């Protein structure tokens, strides 16, 4: 992808998207789940409807796939398997959202797509159509999808048009902040597989722009304008991380940069893109939460800081930390690259949903 981009043959993300295309599977129903591609609120979704008879109203999960807001789709084999298993094991309706992707579409389009689907689905008439209990709905997602799930859960609390409240949110190794990109997890895992620091910085930058100036500033941790430096306290890992994660690292904190980038690309300071930037008062009303973090992951500390802030705000949080896993490990639960750790993380996630939804 880097070579194709350097030679001008293809945009880096378009080349990376070939992985998504290669992993695509058709919406095939089986004896347990009816699967179909459709639209909700004019956004493409893959819908999973369990065939087993319900004992009453069903549970529901609205799921957002990962891929750095640039890659992935609901029809990729790992996501299709995960949503199929979730629907079957929980006897639940699962809505997997195909939001539009960068670089063609920038923030806030991805957020607006997933929010539109969730808000539409939470209407009483739509829940009734699918036999869903309005008191048992969850949003979930992995990586960039975990980012979107956290942002949706926050925004729903501020929307007077939404009467149905989420019962839970499940965030799988989520990306949650854009301010400090030199956390201990970024330092420790800069060259680890699947998501090295350089790729994560590119994902963050592409979410907002293809201008290399933002990515370069993020790489030096000097992209936040002086006027926004008060936000650093919300992501200050020296006070928010457990001691074991801070060991061996000295806190320096981000350095203020030119206000020009924030003026041109204000999205990276928007809580809809960086859910850790909301004040504690907004966190207190969030539903019960599951957060999965992996030790060998640049995004590890994003999740850990959110766990700490949610617990301090009084939100019931279940935190599963996988010490033997790397970013994306849950997706390695089926197919040629099947790994035991993928099954372990998948079972943790689905078991939590079963107990809490």
Catalytic residues: 143, 297, 327
DSSP letter, residue 294: E
Closest alpha carbon to 314 in 346, 292, 287, 293: 287
CA 78 – CA 116 distance, rounded (Å): 24
Cβ proximity of 185 and 301 under 8 Å: yes
Residue-by-residue DSSP string for 18-59: HHHHHTB------SSEEEEEEEETTEEEEEEEE-SPPSSSEE
Cβ proximity of 299 and 200 under 8 Å: yes
Q: In what helix (H) or strand (E) does residue 60 lie, and over which residues does it extend?
A: strand 58-64
* Three-point CA angle 76, 78, 84, nearest 5°: 95
- Is 21 exposed, middle or buried, given 0-12, 13-18 or 19+ CB atoms closer than 10 A? exposed
**Could you tell me which residues come within 8 angstroms of residue 157 by beta carbon, excluding any fewer than 6 positions away?**
282, 285, 286
Closest alpha carbon to 68 in 176, 204, 219: 204
CA 55 – CA 59 distance, rounded (Å): 11
Neighbours of 320 (CB within 10 A): 18
DSSP letter, residue 297: -
Cβ proximity of 50 and 85 under 8 Å: no
């Amino acid at each position: 992808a880097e070579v194709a981009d350097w030679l001008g043959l293809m945009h880096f993300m378009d080349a990376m998207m070939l992985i998504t295309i290669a992993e695509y599977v058709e919406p095939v129903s089986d004896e347990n789940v009816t699967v179909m591609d459709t639209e909700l609120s004019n956004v493409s979704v893959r819908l999973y409807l369990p065939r087993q008879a319900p004992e009453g109203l069903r549970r529901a999960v609205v799921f957002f796939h990962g891929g750095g807001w640039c890659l992935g789709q609901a029809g990729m084999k790992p996501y299709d398997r995960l949503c199929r298993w979730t629907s079957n094991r929980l006897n639940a309706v699962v809505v997997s959202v195909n939001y539009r992707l960068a670089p063609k579409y920038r923030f806030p389009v991805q957020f607006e797509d997933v929010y539109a689907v969730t808000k539409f689905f939470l209407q009483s008439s739509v829940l009734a159509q699918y036999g869903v209990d309005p008191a048992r709905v969850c949003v979930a997602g992995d990586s960039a999808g975990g980012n979107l799930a956290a942002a949706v859960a926050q925004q729903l609390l501020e929307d007077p048009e939404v009467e149905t409240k989420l019962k839970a949110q499940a965030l799988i190794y989520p990306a949650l902040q854009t301010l400090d990109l030199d956390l201990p997890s970024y330092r420790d895992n800069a060259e680890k597989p699947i998501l090295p620091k350089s790729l994560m910085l590119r994902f963050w930058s592409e979410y907002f722009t293809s201008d290399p100036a933002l990515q370069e500033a993020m790489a030096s941790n000097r992209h936040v304008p002086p006027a926004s430096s008060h936000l650093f306290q919300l992501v200050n890992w020296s006070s928010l991380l457990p001691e074991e994660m801070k060991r061996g690292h000295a806190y320096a904190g981000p350095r203020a940069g030119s206000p020009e980038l924030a003026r041109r690309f204000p999205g990276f300071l928007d809580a809809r893109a960086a859910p850790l930037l909301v004040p504690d008062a907004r966190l207190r009303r969030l539903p019960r939460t599951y957060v999965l973090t992996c030790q060998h992951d640049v995004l590890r500390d994003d999740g850990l800081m959110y766990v700490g802030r949610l617990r301090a705000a009084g939100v019931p949080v279940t935190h599963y930390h996988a010490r033997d896993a790397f970013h994306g490990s849950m997706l390695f639960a089926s197919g040629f690259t099947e790994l035991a750790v993928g099954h372990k993380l998948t079972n943790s996630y689905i078991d939590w949903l079963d107990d809490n939804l």
